[in-house]
Structure 1
Amino acid sequence: MLHYREFPLVKKLTKLVSLASLSVLITLPATAELTTNSTATQNTTLLAQANPVRNNIAVELETANDAFSTLARIVKAARLNDELATTGALTIFAPTDEAFAALPAGTLETLLLPENRDTLIKVLTYHIVPGKSTSFNTKSGRRRTLQGQSLTLSVAPRGGQIKVNSAKVILADIPARNGTIHGINQVLLPPDLLK
């Protein structure tokens, strides 16, 4: 009986098939790596589309949470949008709509009168401190505001409640391109306006 290896043509074909199989085995990891890299690129692109660069504080107040619609309107009326769009890092302790609703009747309307714009700016800038403060890096103590006077921050031990003067932070760490927004449950008034 003749064996297939005895034929020279069969020997050559067997070697070619073996070499072809070997080359396929060698190229499979490279192909898999190309496929993986391609998939990773697609996933990175999808991730970038899902997480676009965040807006500045002024835009985030308008779009991030319905709780700040009154504040966003007041910031526009005071013409502070440009200041809140600054590239420097800021932290705003943002009163929620409920906080503004809790003011005595007519207070907000009075502040929005054109002749009271300077007072409105004082009130708004008293809610803003330079630098980016998150609930993870905020420490108890006094912080100077953009208005010029200081706020008192109290942080309960072990990641507890943060208070700003007597207001409580109820919505923490809303990120913006140029800082952080913390929702608070009261409107803060500068001490010189309380006299």
Structure 2
Amino acid sequence: MALFALTTGLQAQDSHKTILNALNKSELSATLEKVDDYTLFAPADQVFWNLPKEQFQQLFNRQDPSFLENVLRYHIVAGKLSASRLLNDLAKNKGRMSYPTLLGDRLHFKMEGLDILLVDSHGNKARITQADLSTQEDQLMHGIDGLILPPTYD
């Protein structure tokens, strides 16, 4: 039910069709069924469309389906991280914070002016552009303007 709730929420977001397709291609439903609350940081379609062709093909046409699933898991943090909670945590920690992802690695956040940025271990940054988008069954997602990659990504 958790994946259904997430994908239903994404369907309501016209700018997140590519990540919906990616979630449907993955096998995350079993994992999300075990997580009561989570927050998805969802890249907009334009993020995927702007990837170099080789990187897009590697992400979606790879022989190893776990590759796409790991990238998706890195975009999901257990627990509800509302924008106000993120801002609170960042304020208490000198503008820097990290949270564990469903992949098991930590995703780093920092303030840049008034914006909240996600920063992966490769130095890629994504800005939260749409905050606190609720999905069916009250799961939470934030729209972001970049793709963040797990540490194991080549």
Shorter-chain TM-score tier: 0.7 to 0.9
Q: What is the match of residue 88 of structure 1?
A: 36
Q: What is the match of residue 101 of structure 2?
A: 145
1:110 and 1:116 in contact (8 A); partners too: no
**What SS class does the counterpart of residue 182 from structure 1 fall into?**
strand
Q: Quick one: which amino acid aligns to residue 88 of structure 1?
A: D
- The offset of 1:85, in angstroms, is 5.8
Q: Which of the two has greater helix per residue?
A: 1
Q: What is the match of residue 172 of structure 1?
A: 131
TM-score for both structures, normalised by structure 1:
0.64
1:131 and 1:179 in contact (8 A); partners too: no
Q: Quick one: which amino acid aligns to residue 104 of structure 2?
A: G
**What SS class does the counterpart of residue 17 from structure 2 fall into?**
helix
Query: Which segments of 5 or more consecutive residues in structure 1 lack a partner in the other structure?
Result: 1-54
Structure 1: distance between partners of 2:98 and 2:35? 24
Which of 121, 125, 145 is the equivalent residue of 1:185? 145
Aligned pairs for 1:21-170 within 5 A = 56-61=5-10, 63-84=11-32, 88-113=36-61, 115-138=63-86, 139-140=89-90, 141-155=97-111, 160-165=114-119, 166-170=125-129
Q: Quick one: which amino acid aligns to residue 148 of structure 1?
A: G
Q: Which of the two has greater strand per residue?
A: 2
TM-score for both structures, normalised by structure 2:
0.79
**TM-aligned CA distance change 1:143 to 1:190, over 3 Å:** same
Structure 2: distance between partners of 1:149 and 1:86? 18
Q: Quick one: which amino acid aligns to residue 56 of structure 1?
A: A
- The offset of 1:178, in angstroms, is 4.4
1:87 and 1:178 in contact (8 A); partners too: no
- The offset of 1:81, in angstroms, is 4.0
Percent identical across equivalent pairs? 28
Matched length: 137
CA deviation map 1:88-115 (0-9, x unaligned) = 1000111110111121113222322362
RMSD over equivalenced CA pairs, Å: 2.0
Q: Quick one: which amino acid aligns to residue 5 of structure 2?
A: N
**TM-aligned CA distance change 1:156 to 1:134, over 3 Å:** farther
**What SS class does the counterpart of residue 140 from structure 2 fall into?**
strand
Higher Cα Rg, which structure: 1
